Structure 1
Amino acid sequence: MAALTAGRNTPEFAEGGKIIVLPVAANTVIFDGSLVALDENGNAQPAAKETGLTAAGRAEEYVDNTGGAAGDKTIRVRRGVFVWDNTSVAANKVKPEHVLKDCYIEDDCTVTALADGSSRAGKVIAVTDDGVAVETL
């Protein structure tokens, strides 16, 4: 490829990638506002405590793909920093000393410091009485 010799109108992708559209896994319901994860095939599902998932962000809409095949429906997912519930298990709570470290998925609205049997939710940005601010980028 040759270097540019004049200005180029370089397009921005999907609001800088803050909102992405993903195929929904077969026979899956995702609630708006929930933590969404991708399975090993790249299909969106509610985040859950299991290995091999990739955290995608927050669901921007409700999608019901019950009875549908993978990809029959899509979902808009916003990437960014969102406040999720902290686990109720005292020994596994995300604490202030976890800031800028990874936290892990417990379910579609809860994170934990326990990595065993789970997938990464993202980086802890803050821990407050309201929950855990997690960067999913």
Structure 2
Amino acid sequence: MTALTEDRNTPQRSGDNRNFPVKGATTLFAGSMAAIDTTGMLVPAGATATLKIVGRNERRVVNAGADGSVRADVKTGVFRFGNSASTDAITLADVGSSCYAVDDQTVAKTSNSSARPVAGTIFDVDDDGVWVKFS
């Protein structure tokens, strides 16, 4: 492409709402962390290094059919999830660092030797869990 020589109507998206095709034979629960697998299909987040966490799933979605026959809404922002335990528990000292998906509702301080995908950035920590920023 060449540089503009006149005004351009450039489309815009807010960036906090997304919609993805869901992997076949998959259930995603409302409020869960959702991820894209290596085929580009939405799946529940988990401790699989090749997953890319994309945000919070907005409603329960059941895809009993083929890959992509159902779509799901996912939202970015800051959401609270469960904190891991023991030496993988996240503390206030970890705010600003990356956290890693253990499952679709729990985050941990470490990648477990690169076995877990990055879930997002630790925004805050309270007695009820870890606030994770998805972008």
Would you call these one fold, judging by a TM-score over 0.5?
yes
Matched, 1:45 2:43: yes
Root-mean-square deviation (Å): 1.3
Give the CA deviation at 1:91: 1.2
Question: Which residue of structure 1 aligns with residue 74 of structure 2?
Answer: 77
Give the CA deviation at 1:114: 2.3
**Which amino acid counterpart does residue 81 of structure 2 have in structure 1?**
W
Give the CA deviation at 1:5: 3.3
TM-superposition CA deviations, 1:1-52 (whole Å, max 9, x none) = 342534x443212xx1211110101110001111101111111111111111
Percent identity of equivalent pairs: 35
Distance 2:133 2:87 in 1: 22
Question: Which residue of structure 2 aligns with residue 94 of structure 1?
Answer: 90
Give the counterpart of 2:61 among 54, 60, 63: 63
Distance 1:43 1:58 in 2: 15
Show structure 1 runs of 4+ deviating over 3 A: none
TM-superposition CA deviations, 1:41-72 (whole Å, max 9, x none) = 11111111111110010111111012x11101
Question: Which residue of structure 1 aligns with residue 116 of structure 2?
Answer: 118
SS of residue matched to 1:97: helix
Distance 1:113 1:2 in 2: 45
SS of residue matched to 2:74: strand
Give the counterpart of 2:99 among 93, 103, 108: 103
SS of residue matched to 1:17: coil
**Which amino acid counterpart does residue 110 of structure 1 have in structure 2?**
T
Give the CA deviation at 1:112: 0.6
Question: Which residue of structure 1 aligns with residue 33 of structure 2?
Answer: 35
Question: Which residue of structure 2 aligns with residue 134 of structure 1?
Answer: 132
Question: Which residue of structure 2 aligns with residue 10 of structure 1?
Answer: 10
